[in-house]
A and B are shown apart, each in its own frame.
Chain A
Amino acid sequence: MAPPAQSQRSQSPSQPSGKSEVSDLKLQLRQLAGSRAPGVDDSKRELFKKVISYMTIGIDVSSLFGEMVMCSATSDIVLKKMCYLYVGNYAKVNPDLALLTINFLQRDCHDEDPMIRGLALRSLCSLRVANLVEYLVGPLGSGLKDSNSYVRTVAVVGVLKLYHISASTCVDADFPSTLKHLMLNDPDTQIVANCLSALEEIWSAEASTSEEAAREREALISKPFIYYLLNRIKEFSEWAQCLVLELVTKYVPSDSSEIFDIMNLLEDRLQHANGAVVLATVKVFLQLTLSMTDVHQQVYERIKAPLLTLVSSGSPEQSYAVLSHLHLLVLRAPYVFSSDYKHFYCQYNEPSYVKRLKLEMLTAVANESNTYEIVTELCEYAANVDIPIARESIRAVGKIALQQYDVNAIVDRLLQFLEMEKDYVTAEALVLVKDLLRKYPQWSHDCIAVVGNISSKNVQEPKAKAALIWMLGEYSQDMQDAPYILESLVENWDEEHSAEVRLHLLTAVMKCFFKRPPETQSALGAALAAGIGDFHQDVHDRALFYYRILRYNVSVAEQVVNPPKQAVSVFADTQSSEIKDRIFDEFNSLSVLYQKPSYMFTDKEHRGPLEFADELGNLSIGEAAHNVISSQRVEENDKDLLLTTAEKEETRGSSNNGSVYAVPYDSSTSVFASQTQIESAISNPTTAGHSQHASFGIDDLLGLGMPAVPDVASPPQLKLNTKAALDPNAFQQKWRQLPVALSQELSLSPQGVASLTVPQALLRHMQSHSIHCIASGGQSPNFKFFFFAQKYEEPSNYLVECIINTTSAKAQVKIKADDQSTSQAFSSLFELALSKFGTP
Chain B
Amino acid sequence: MISQFFVLSQRGDNIVFRDYRGEVPKGSAEIFFRKVKFWKQDGQEEAPPIFNVDGVNYFHVKVVGLFFVATTRVNVSPSLVLELLQRVARVIKDYLGVLSEDSFRKNFVLVYELLDEVIDFGYVQTTSTEVLKSYVFNEPIVVDAARLQPLGPAAIFMQGNKRMPGTAITKSVVANEPGGRKREEIFVDIIEKISVTFSSSGYILTSEIDGTIQMKSYLTGNPEIRLALNEDLSIGRGGGSVYDYGSSYGAGAVILDDCNFHESVRLDSFDMDRTLALVPPDGEFPVMNYRMTQEFKPPFHINCLIEEAGHLKAEVVLKIRAEFPSNITANTVVVEMPLLKYTIRASFELEPGAVGQRTDFKEANKKLEWDLKKIVGGFEHTLRAKLTFSQESHGNITKEAGPVSMTFTIPMYNASRLQVKYLQIAKKSSSYNPYRWVRYVTQANSYVARI
Contact = CB atoms under 8 A, between A and B. Distances in A.
A157 B121 CA distance: 7
Nearest to B134: A115
A836 B124 CA distance: 50
A603 B73 contact: yes
Contacts of B116: 81, 85, 122
Given A315-B82, A321-B50, A347 B260 contact: no
B127 A239 contact: yes
A360 interface: no
A9 B29 CA distance: 10
Interface string B196-224: 01000000011010101000000000000
Interface string B58-72: 001110000000000
Q: Interface size bucket, A side? A: 35 or more
A348 B448 contact: yes
Interface residues of B, number: 96
A278 B212 CA distance: 17
A351 interface: yes
A52 interface: yes
A312 B208 contact: yes
Interface stretch (A432-440, A555-563, A594-602, A776-784): A594-602
Given A57-B14, A318-B83, A238 B263 contact: yes
B82 A321 contact: yes
Nearest to B138: A78
B347 to A, nearest CB: 22
Nearest to B394: A421
Contacts of A386: 44
A295 interface: no
Nearest to A89: B19
A122 B116 CA distance: 10
A150 B136 CA distance: 13
B357 to A, nearest CB: 22
Nearest to B112: A85
B206 A273 contact: no
A197 B259 contact: no
A345 B197 contact: yes
B77 A318 contact: no
B125 interface: yes
A598 B72 CA distance: 13
B49 A601 contact: no
Contacts of A592: 78
B13 A9 contact: yes
Interface in B114-131: 116, 120-121, 123-128
A602 B55 contact: yes
A589 B125 contact: no
A77 interface: yes
B236 interface: yes
A53 interface: yes
A1 B12 CA distance: 12
Contacts of B358: none
Interface in A139-175: 150, 153-154, 157, 160-161, 164
Contacts of A421: 394
Interface in A307-363: 308-310, 312-318, 320-322, 324, 339-340, 342-343, 345, 347-353
Contacts of A594: 52
A273 B263 contact: yes
A4, A48, A85 pick with most chain B CB within 10 angstroms: A4
A458 B148 CA distance: 51
B17 interface: yes
Contacts of A9: 12-14, 30
Contacts of A242: 77, 80
Contact of A420 (B47, B212, B399): B399
B260 A309 contact: yes
Contacts of A157: 120-121, 123
A601 B55 contact: yes
Nearest to A76: B137
A240 B134 CA distance: 20
Interface in A375-410: 377, 380, 383, 385-388
Contacts of A89: 19
A63 interface: no
A425 to B, nearest CB: 11
Contacts of A611: 75
B75 A586 contact: yes
A211 to B, nearest CB: 25
A724 interface: no
Q: Identify whether the interface residues of A are mostly helix, strand, loop, or mixed.
A: helix
A824 interface: no
A317 B126 contact: no
Residue of B15, B77, B261, B448 with most chain A CB atoms under a 10 A cut-off: B77
Contacts of A348: 403, 405, 446-448
A757 B91 CA distance: 49
B289 interface: yes
Given A8-B13, A273-B286, A339-B242, A313 B123 contact: no
B78 A589 contact: yes
A313 B112 contact: no
A648 interface: no
B163 interface: no
A103 interface: no
A625 B206 CA distance: 64
Given A154-B120, A324-B78, A273 B261 contact: yes
A683 interface: no
B399 A353 contact: no
A682 to B, nearest CB: 48
B260 A593 contact: no
Interface in A359-374: none
Contact of A81 (B11, B78, B113, B121): B113
A180 to B, nearest CB: 18
B43 interface: yes
B78 A590 contact: yes
B120 A122 contact: yes
Given A157-B120, A190-B125, A271 B261 contact: yes
Contacts of B261: 271-273
Given A85-B112, A309-B260, A598 B75 contact: yes
Contacts of B78: 321, 324, 588-590, 592-593
B296 interface: no
A176 interface: no
A306 interface: yes
Interface string B28-49: 0010011001000001111111
Interface string A117-156: 0000010000010000000000000000000001001100
Contact of B258 (A8, A52, A154, A309): A309
B338 interface: yes
B305 interface: no
A197 B75 contact: no
A387 B44 CA distance: 9
A632 interface: no
Contacts of B19: 89
Given A160-B121, A342-B206, 17 more contacts: A4-B30, A57-B13, A92-B22, A164-B21, A194-B125, A237-B126, A271-B260, A309-B260, A312-B208, A317-B62, A322-B79, A342-B242, A348-B405, A349-B405, A353-B46, A353-B47, A602-B74
22 contacts: A1-B43, A82-B112, A150-B135, A239-B127, A271-B261, A274-B83, A275-B83, A305-B258, A308-B291, A309-B259, A309-B291, A310-B260, A318-B61, A322-B79, A347-B445, A353-B46, A353-B48, A383-B400, A589-B76, A594-B52, A601-B55, A602-B74
Nearest first, the 5 closest Cβ-Cβ pairs linking A and B are: A347-B446, A317-B49, A276-B80, A4-B12, A313-B289
Interface of A: 1, 3-6, 8-9, 48-49, 52-53, 56-58, 77-78, 81-82, 85, 89, 92, 115, 122, 128, 150, 153-154, 157, 160-161, 164, 190, 193-194, 197, 237-240, 242, 246, 271-276, 278-280, 305-306, 308-310, 312-318, 320-322, 324, 339-340, 342-343, 345, 347-353, 377, 380, 383, 385-388, 420-421, 586, 588-594, 598, 601-603, 606-608, 611
